[in-house]
Amino acid sequence: MMVYWLGTRAVAQGEVTIGSVVAFAVITQRLFRPFSVVTHA
């Protein structure tokens, strides 16, 4: 959730593009999903 908040703020200020925020969110989700599956098993 914080990724989206910080990302929209950075996009509004012109520091990054929307595509960069979406790509970062997808990558972090794919990175941490295996860990959450293991811990909730």
Domain ranges of the chain: 2-39
Q: How much is the pLDDT for 16?
A: 94
d(CA 32, CA 24): 12
d(CA 20, CA 14): 12
Q: How much is the pLDDT for 3?
A: 76
> What single-letter amino acid sits at 6?
L
3-state SS record for the chain = CHHHHHHHHHHHCCCCCHHHHHHHHHHHHHHHHHHHHHHCC
Which residues in the chain come in under a pLDDT of 50? none
pTM: 0.67
Instruction: Provide the sign of the torsion angle of the four alpha carbons 2, 28, 25, 33, taken in this order.
Output: negative
